[in-house]
Amino acid sequence: MPDEKTLTLGPVKIVGSFLSPMVRKALAVLDIKKIPYEIDPIIAFMGSEAFGKLSPVRRIPVLIDNDITVSDSTVVCEYLDEQYPEPAVYPKDPVNRARARWLEEFSDTRMQEVFSWHLFNQYTINPLMWGEPLNEAVVEHAKTVEIPHILDYLEGVLPEEGFLFGEVSVPDIAIANHFRNASFVGYKADAERWPITASFAERVLAIESLKKLNPYEDKLLETQPTEHRKVLGEMGVPLVSETLGTDKSKRGFMIIK
């Protein structure tokens, strides 16, 4: 356990939407480690100028823990594992830790690019934020070329049973999270073609630290972004006192990492 001088003085603060796979990864780690938190559930496209100062590349999640503020989900999760080391969410063995970092990076780059930008965002963010129609060519290419290529790779590296490194760890969560978002737009991995990957995703998404977030995600899917904070408060979610969100959308960097 961390010593007294490293213990948080109160709930940490997390900035970002429950619908982001990157935010969901950080929230799962907080829950696994039993670290209380308050959340500012903003969509990064609707972050204020103050948000941009905390996250210069306008990425979510942002974590605020006493005097430290960090953004990028990997940085957030590594910080939490080092500051609050038990239970560990990365392998301690150097070889397995390197493997874990690679699989998390694969998830956060290639899987994020395809599952979020070429699939989920095409159905949700693009029409909602920018009024852009569905790009059917992009979606079709993702479903028939890009996702199968990803799943072929995962089929060879994921375990047939259990998790990647014994107890559930960050790369397990990072990979499975994309299948949760894919399900929001009706995509599910073919269990006959990719049985290992399909069962792995189902197994990880069933852990309590992820499953308890489902009601919030489901509610947000049917709620306008400007009402997210209100409905989550009504559901009992612990919210920060002041939001970094606005009621206007703004294009920016590739921000959901």
Same domain, 187 and 222: no
Is 110 in the same domain as 184? Answer: yes
Q: How far apart are the first and last CA of the chain?
A: 28
User: What are the angstrom distances between the C-alpha of 221 and each of 18, 147, 207, 228?
Assistant: 10, 23, 21, 9
Please check whether residue 256 lies inside any domain of the structure: no
Answer yes or no: do 203 and 229 share one domain: no
Strands across the sheet with 37-40, in order?
Answer: 37-40, 12-15, 62-65, 68-71
Residue 14, strand partner residues: 39, 63
Sign of the alpha-carbon torsion through 23, 165, 32, 83: negative
In a domain, 246, yes or no: no
CATH number at residue 70: 3.40.30.10
What rounded mean pLDDT belongs to the chain? Answer: 92
Residues 123 and 165 in one domain: yes
Query: Tell me, what CATH number does 106's domain have?
Result: 1.20.1050.10
β-bridge pairing 12-15 and 62-65: antiparallel
**For residue 86, pLDDT beyond 60:** yes
Q: Which two tokens stand for residue 254?
A: 């590739």
**Does residue 130 share a domain with residue 49?**
no
Q: Do both 191 and 116 map to the same domain?
A: yes
Residue 154 vs residues 100, 108, 166: alpha-carbon distances, Å = 13, 14, 17
Greater confidence, 8 or 34?
Answer: 34
Among 4-8, 14-18, 104-108, 222-226, where is mean pLDDT lowest? 4-8
For the chain, how many structural domains are there in total? 2
> Is residue 240 in some structural domain?
no
Say if residue 160 is in the same domain as residue 223: no
- Is the distance from CB of 26 to CB of 228 less than 8 angstroms? no
CA angle 246, 182, 14 (to 5 degrees): 40
Domain closes at, from 209, 225, 247? 209
CB within 8 Å of 228: residues ≥ 6 apart: 17, 41, 42, 43, 220
252 assigned to some structural domain: no
Q: In angstroms, rounded to a whole number, what is the distance separating the alpha carbons of residues 94 and 29?
A: 20
Q: Which amino acid is at 47?
A: G
Q: Is it true that the peptide bond before 87 is cis, omega within 30 degrees of 0?
A: yes
Look at residue 252 and tell me whether its pLDDT is greater than 70.
no
- Average pLDDT, integer, range 58-70: 93
In a domain, 39, yes or no: yes
Cβ neighbours of residue 177 closer than 8 Å, sequence gap 6 or more = 21, 22, 24, 25, 107, 210
**pLDDT for residue 247:** 87
CB neighbourhood size of 217 (10 A): 17
If asked whether residues 108 and 70 sit together in one domain, one would say no
Structural domain of 16: 4-88+214-234
Tokens of 255: 């921000």
Q: Are residues 198 and 166 in the same domain?
A: yes
Query: Would residue 26 count as lying in a domain?
Result: yes
Q: Residue 239 falls within a domain, yes or no?
A: no
Q: What is the pLDDT of residues 111-129, one digit of tens each?
A: 999 999 999 999 988 877 7
pTM of the model: 0.92
Q: Please classify residue 142 by burial: count the beta carbons closer than 10 Å to its beta carbon, then call 0-12 exposed, 13-18 middle and 19+ buried.
A: buried
> How confident is the model over 213-242, as pLDDT tens digits?
999 999 999 999 999 999 999 999 999 999
- Residues 53, 8, single domain; the answer is yes
What does the alpha-carbon distance between residue 61 and residue 76 come to, in Å, rounded to a whole number? 8
- Please give the Cα distance from 229 to 17 (Å, whole number): 10
**Same domain as 180, residue 84:** no
| pLDDT given at position 6 | 43
Domain presence at residue 44: yes
Q: What is the mean pLDDT of the segment spanning 58-82?
A: 95
Pick the closest to residue 252 from 73, 60, 39 (CA basis): 60
Please tell me whether residue 166 adopts helix, strand or coil conformation: strand
Distance CA 138, CA 117 (A): 9
60 and 111, same domain (yes or no): no
